[in-house]
Amino acid sequence: MRVALFITCVNDTLFPDTGKAAVGLLRRLGVEVEFPLAQTCCGQMHLNTGYRDEAVKLANRFTDTFGGYDAVVAPSGSCAAMVREQYPHLDIENIPKVYDLSEFLVDVLKVTDVGAYFPHKVTYHPTCHSLRGLKVGDKPTDLLKNVRGLELVPLPGAEECCGFGGTFAVKNRDVSAAMCADKIGNVMQTGAEVLCAADNSCLLHIGGTLKRQKSGVRVRHLAEILASTEESAE
Amino acid sequence: MSGTFVGMPTFPKNAAKAVQDSQLRFNLRKATHTIRGKRASVVGELDDWAELREAGKTIKDHTLRHLDDYLIQMEEKVTAAGGTVHWARDAAEANRIVARLVKETGETEVVKVKSMATQEIGLNEALAEEGINAYETDLAELIVQLGDDFPSHILVPAIHRNRAEIREIFLKHMAGAPKDLSDEPRALAEAARVYLRQRFLEAKVAISGANFMIAETGTLVVLESEGNGRMCLTLPKTLISVVGIEKLLPTWQDLEVFLQLLPRSSTGERMNPYTSMWTGATEGQEFHLVLLDNGRTSVLADKVGRQALRCIRCSACLNVCPVYERAGGHAYGSVYPGPIGAILTPQLRGMDTPLDRSLPYASSLCGACYEVCPVAIDIPAVLVDLRGKARHTRAEKAGMAAAGWVFNRSKRLAKAQRFGGRMRKLVPKRLPGPLSGWTDTRDMPDIPAESFRDWWMREGKR
C-alpha cells in the first residue's frame, strides 16, 4: 500500500511539529509514508470564501499530486472533509482516497492502542468537519483512551463549533470571539491542562484565545499526543 | 411589525452589537438550548427518522419538479370547492390583492393567523396604508406587534424578550391590560387571551398563511399551538390565505410524512396541539387563496439554491446554530433569520445591498443546521455557492489571487514559508487592517523557523 501524507498548508507553514509527529507515529506503526513535494493546499479557503475557480485549480492540482497513492493521510479533519465532501460538488474527477489521521489508524491500520504515553489531563474538542463532515465518531477518543498516563475528561458542549470557520473568524470577528469564549468556558470547567483536537486551524483560534487570556491551558494536535512516548513525553 | 429592515447595516455590524447584550445572550441561550434538547429527544424516539427525512426531501423535490402541474391542480380544486384563487407575482401585487379583497367586505379590521408569507411581503404595513388595521393573534406575534418590534425567530418571534419586558409592552400598548398585571406567564397569557377574545368576536375578515397545501383536494393546512389560529380560521365570514407556491404537497399521503417531521423538528413535540384543515368555503362564507411567487420561481431555477424551497419553516436550524444563538435574529435583517434565512433571503431579495451580501458569510459552516434539517437542505453547500456569487471587495480579491498564485506552485509556497521563517521575529503582535479581526482577541502563533517541507527535505525523508 502506497501511503502519502497530505500535510495541509496550515500545518506545513505554521505547525511542522504536527507533521513530524504524524510521520513518527506512522513509522512506529510500520507505515512508510511518502511526502509528495508538489502538494500545496486543498483549496478550502478559496472555495469557502467564494472563489470557486481558484479552488477548482487547487483541487485539480491535489488530485494530480496524490493520484497514484492507495491512501492519503491528512492530520486535519477539515481538509480531509474538503476533499471527500466538497470536491464532488466541484465536479472533480478521480478523487484520491483521503483519510483523517484517526480514520487511517482505526479503519485502515485497525489499531486503537498506538503505544503512546502522555501523562496529562486532556479534554478533546471534536471539530465540526471531523464530526459532521467525515463522521469520525469516537475514533479520536478511542485512540486517546488507550494512551498510557492520559486522563481524558469529557468536554461539555463538545459538539458545538468553536467559531473558527476559516475567514469567518475575521469577517465575523465578534460572533467568532463570542463562540470561542463559550468554548473556552467549557474547557476551563473540565480542569484539563491540555485541549486536544484533530485540526490545527481550530486550535490556532482556540489556542490563540487561550494564550491571550493567559488561561494556562495549552493545545495539542491529536497526532502529537499519539506520537508521544516515555522517551519523548512533555 | 411596523418597521422595516431596509437600510440595515451588514450582519457583522448588527451581530457585534448583539453579542454585547448579555440579557439577549442569556435569553437566546436558554430558549434555543431548551428547544434543541426537546427536539433531540423526540427525534431520537423514532427509529425511522432518517427514512422520514429522506421521504420529506424526496416528496418536496418531486413537487418542486412538477410545481406547474400541481399549482394548476390546486387552483382547480379550490375553485371547485367554492374558493377563489389569485396569483401574485410579487409582494406589491399580493398586498394589492389582499387590500382590495378586504375593502370589498367593507371592513377596516382583520385578525391574523401567524404567517411567515405575510411577514415577508409586509402585509400589515401595506394594509395600514389603506386604512386597515391588522391584529396579530399569535401570542408572540402580538408581543412583537404591540412592541413595534421585529420578529427574531421563525417559530418563536419574541424569543428575544423575557417576561418582564413582555409585561412592560402589555401595560404600555395593550388596550384593557390590567393595571396590576404581573410578569407571571399565566397572568400574561390571560391578559392576552382577554384582549384577543374581543378581536375574534368582532372580526369579519381573517388572514392566514398555510403550512401545507394539498393539491389532490385543494386543502390548506395550518399547524399551531395556541388555538388562536383556529379562531381566525373558523369564526370570521371571509378568510384570505396568502401562501408561497412552494408549500404544495401532491397528496394526503404525503402530508403524513410532514405531520411527523414538522412538530418534532419545530416545537419538539410528537404532535402539535391544533391542526386545522379546510377546503374551499362553506355556504355563507368566503375563501380566497393568494398564491405568492415573490422570487420563488427564480430560486427554483437555481440548481444548488432551489433546495431552500424544501423548507417547512420548522426553525430547527436556528435553534442549533451557534451563530444565531449569539447574534440573535434581528442581525439577519429579514423575517427569515438563522441559517435558513442566510440562504433564503439573499436568494429571494438578491444580493444588491451590503446586508444581503453579508448573509451568506454569517456562518462558520459547522454543519449543525444540515444535520437537523428535516428535509435535508444542505445549508452549508448553498452558503458556499452563494458566496461564489457575491461581489467581493478589491482588497480581498487581491489577497485571494495572491494566495492562489503561491499555492499553484509548491516552489512558491516553499519560498514564501522561508521568507516568513526569516521574518518571524518581526511579525507584530497586532496585525493591521482586516487582519486585526484575528489579533484583536487572539495571540498570533509562533511562526516556525522551518516549514514541514524543509524539514522533510533536510532529514524527514529516508
Quote the cell numbers at residue B124.
Answer: 400589515
Number of residues that this document lists for chain B:
462
Our CA-based measurement puts residue B409 at a distance from the nearest CA of chain A, in whole angstroms, of: 7
**Residue A106: which residues within 8 A CB-CB, separation 6 or more?**
A112, A139, A142, A143
- Name the percent of chain A lying above pLDDT 90: 98
Q: Do A72 and A142 reside in the same domain of the chain?
A: no
Domain boundary among A52, A77, A108: A108
Q: How far is it, in rounded angstroms, from Cα A102 to Cα A134? A: 11
In the numeric block, the cell 397572568 is attached to B187
Distance CA B456, CA A201 (A): 21
pLDDT at residue A21 tops 70: yes
Residue of A28, A40, A65 to mutate for B, most B C-beta atoms under 10 A = A40
A114 lies in some domain: no
Whether residue B40 lies within 8 A of chain A, CB to CB, comes out as no
Pairwise CA distance, residues B211 & B215, whole Å: 13
Answer yes or no: do A101 and A165 share one domain: no
Q: What is the mean pLDDT of chain B?
A: 95
Same domain, A93 and A172: no
- What are the CA-CA distances from residue B247 to residues B112, B172, B312, B377 (Å)? 19, 37, 8, 15
Structural domain harbouring A18: 3-108
Over range B210-220, report the average pLDDT: 98
pLDDT band at B7 (very low <50, low <70, confident <90, very high): confident
Q: CB–CB of B365 and A14 under 8 A?
A: no
Looking at the domain that runs over B12-297, which CATH code has it been given?
Answer: 3.40.50.10420
CB-CB contact of B164 with B183 (8 Å): yes
For B64-84, give one letter per residue: b (16+ CB within 10 A) or e: beebeebbebbbebbeebebb
Query: Strand order in A71-74's β-sheet?
Result: A33-34, A3-5, A71-74, A98-100
Chain B residues with beta carbon closer than 8 angstroms to that of A172: 11-12, 15, 323, 361-362, 364
Residue B207: which H helix or E strand, with range?
strand B205-208
* Per-residue pLDDT, B153: 96
pLDDT of residue B4: 61
Same domain, A129 and A222: yes
Q: Which of B286, B192, B211, B257 is nearest to B53 (CA)?
A: B257
**B positions 293-352 inside 8 Å of A (CB):** 322-323, 326-327
Report how far residue B235's alpha carbon sits from residue B129's, in angstroms, rounded to the nearest whole number. 26
Asked whether the beta carbons of residue A48 and residue B420 sit closer than 8 angstroms, the reply is: no
Residues A125, A221 share a domain: yes
Q: Write out pLDDT tens, residues B365-402.
A: 999 999 999 999 999 999 999 999 999 999 999 999 99
Using CB atoms, pick whichever of B371, B444, B451 lies closest to residue A13: B451
First to last CA, chain A: 33
What dihedral angle (degrees, nearest 10) is formed by the CA atoms of B322, B327, B328, B329? -100
- Residue B434 banded pLDDT, cuts 50, 70, 90: confident
Q: Which residues of A touch B452 (CB under 8 A)?
A: 7, 11-13, 15-16, 19-20
Of the pLDDT bands very low, low, confident and very high (cuts 50, 70, 90), residue B1 is: very low
Q: Which residues of B touch A74 (CB under 8 A)?
A: none
Domain positions in chain B: 12-297, 408-460
Q: Please choose, from the candidates B368, B298, B306, B310, the residue with its C-alpha nearest in 3D space to the C-alpha of residue B338.
A: B368
Q: What is the pLDDT of residues A41-78, one digit of tens each?
A: 999 999 999 999 999 999 999 999 999 999 999 999 99
Q: Say yes or no to pLDDT of B2 above 50.
A: no
Cα–Cα distance, B232 to B228 (Å, whole number): 7
Query: What is this structure's pTM?
Result: 0.96
The answer, yes or no, to whether residue B256 has pLDDT greater than 80, is yes
- Let me know whether A41 and A13 are in one domain: yes
Q: Give the tens place of pLDDT for each residue, B23-57.
A: 999 999 999 999 999 999 999 999 999 999 999 99
Q: Do B435 and A170 touch (CB under 8 A)?
A: yes
* Residue A27 neighbours by CB distance under 10 Å: 13
Write out pLDDT tens, residues B53-93.
Answer: 999 999 999 999 999 999 999 999 999 999 999 999 999 99
Shortest Cα–Cα distance, A119 to chain B (Å): 25
The backbone torsions φ and ψ at residue B379, rounded to the nearest 5 degrees and listed phi first, read -60, -45
Count of structural domains within chain A: 2
Q: Taking 80 as the threshold, does the pLDDT of residue B231 lie above it?
A: yes
Helices (H), chain A: 9-14, 16-28, 44-49, 52-66, 77-81, 101-103, 128, 139-145, 168-171, 173-190, 200-212, 222-227
Are A16 and B450 within 8 A, CB to CB? yes
Note whether A195 and A165 are same-domain residues.
Answer: yes
Q: What is the pLDDT of residue B433?
A: 83
Residues A165 and A188 in one domain: yes
Are the beta carbons of A54 and B400 separated by less than 8 Å? yes
Do A134 and A65 lie in a common domain? no
Q: Are residues A177 and A210 in the same domain?
A: yes
> What's the CATH code of the domain at A93?
3.40.50
Q: Name, in order, each residue with C-beta under 8 angstroms of B175's C-beta and a sequence gap of 6 or more.
A: B195
Q: What's the rounded mean pLDDT across residues B409-432?
A: 92
Final residue of a structural domain among A51, A78, A108: A108
What the block records as the C-alpha cell of A187 is 474547557
Over 80: is that where the pLDDT of A79 sits? yes
For A99-141, the pLDDT digits (tens) are 999 999 999 999 999 999 999 999 999 999 999 999 999 999 9
Predicted confidence at residue B461, as pLDDT, reads: 74
Helix spans in A15-93 (H): 16-28, 44-49, 52-66, 77-81
Quick one: pLDDT band at residue B168, thresholds 50, 70, 90?
very high
Is A74 in the same domain as A153? no
Are A114 and A43 contacting, i.e. CB atoms less than 8 angstroms apart?
no
Chain position carrying cell 418563536: B156
Task: Answer yes or no: do A81 and A137 share one domain.
Answer: no
Which residue(s) pair with B112 in the sheet? B136, B207
Determine the straight-line distance between the first and last CA of chain B, rounded to whole angstroms: 70
